[in-house]
């Protein structure tokens, strides 16, 4: 399989969302034009995105909604449960844990960790906060994904810890880039930086979007 750009993967996520809406409304087939219109892209782009993963749909008949949805779920790794742990029992972590969309997509938050003795052992969104120093040696089964929601200056140490214990994917909310081995995927979400792209666009009305 060819290497796929992250922007393609994001569009596949978006197509899946539309397909699920179509499914809920009982629509049986969909054209690349409809998907393109919903996703703010072109039908050529839709066909190109899907072609990376084989041949879907029939010329003139469009795509079968349930079939394409199910194939996209498989491509995106959504056909199974993913074990997620949150490191950092703060506001960001709380918003994530309480976010319905995660569980619906198969992302189960199975544990939360912190290093603050004032919160360790306490209930937090239905979970008991664990001591981060026990990560990897306590009875929690190895997670697939770790959410790093700690202050920037602690983020690399947390990344090192979870990587040492075999975690291969990190969702990083700390405003610090993480250095990890090549076989570990990191996705950084920085809220202040998202707002800064907006303030930039307000003072410089010439920004060109290249990632959505």
Residue (46 or 84) nearer to a second copy, CB: 84
Compute and round to an integer the Cα radius of gyration of the chain: 20
Residue (60 or 101) nearer to a second copy, CB: 101
Contact 170, 148 (CB under 8 A): yes
Contact 114, 127 (CB under 8 A): no
Residue (99 or 164) nearer to a second copy, CB: 99
Least distance between a second copy and beta carbon 152 (Å): 8
State the CB neighbour count (10 A cutoff) for residue 97: 20
State the CB neighbour count (10 A cutoff) for residue 136: 15
Query: Which tokens belong to 161?
Result: 């810890």
State the CB neighbour count (10 A cutoff) for residue 115: 17
- Give the Cα separation of 21 and 15 in Å (integer): 10
Residue (61 or 202) nearer to a second copy, CB: 202
Residue (43 or 190) nearer to a second copy, CB: 190
Least distance between a second copy and beta carbon 63 (Å): 19
Least distance between a second copy and beta carbon 28 (Å): 22
Least distance between a second copy and beta carbon 156 (Å): 12
Identify the residue whose tokens are 């200056």: 153
Least distance between a second copy and beta carbon 58 (Å): 26
Query: Which tokens belong to 35?
Result: 């998907």
Residue (164 or 187) nearer to a second copy, CB: 187
Name the nearest CA neighbour of 52 among 83, 80, 109, 11.
Answer: 11
Least distance between a second copy and beta carbon 13 (Å): 5
């Amino acid at each position: 399989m060819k290497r796929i750009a992250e922007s393609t993967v994001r569009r596949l996520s978006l197509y899946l969302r539309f397909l699920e809406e179509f499914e809920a409304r009982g629509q049986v087939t969909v054209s690349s034009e409809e998907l393109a219109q919903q996703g703010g892209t072109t039908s050529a782009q839709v066909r190109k995105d899907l072609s990376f993963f084989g041949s879907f749909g029939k010329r003139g008949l469009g795509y079968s909604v349930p079939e394409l949805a199910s194939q996209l779920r498989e491509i995106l790794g959504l056909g199974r449960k993913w074990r997620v742990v949150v490191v950092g029992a703060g506001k960001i972590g709380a918003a994530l844990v309480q976010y319905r969309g995660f569980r619906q997509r198969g992302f189960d938050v199975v544990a939360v960790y912190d290093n603050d003795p004032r919160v360790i052992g306490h209930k937090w969104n239905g979970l008991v906060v664990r001591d981060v120093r026990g990560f990897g040696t306590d009875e929690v089964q190895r997670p697939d994904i770790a959410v790093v929601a700690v202050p920037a200056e602690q983020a690399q140490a947390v990344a090192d810890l979870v990587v040492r214990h075999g975690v291969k994917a990190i969702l990083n909310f700390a405003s610090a880039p993480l250095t990890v081995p090549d076989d570990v995927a990191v996705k950084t979400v920085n809220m202040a930086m998202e707002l800064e792209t907006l303030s930039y666009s307000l003072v410089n009305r010439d920004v060109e979007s290249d990632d959505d």
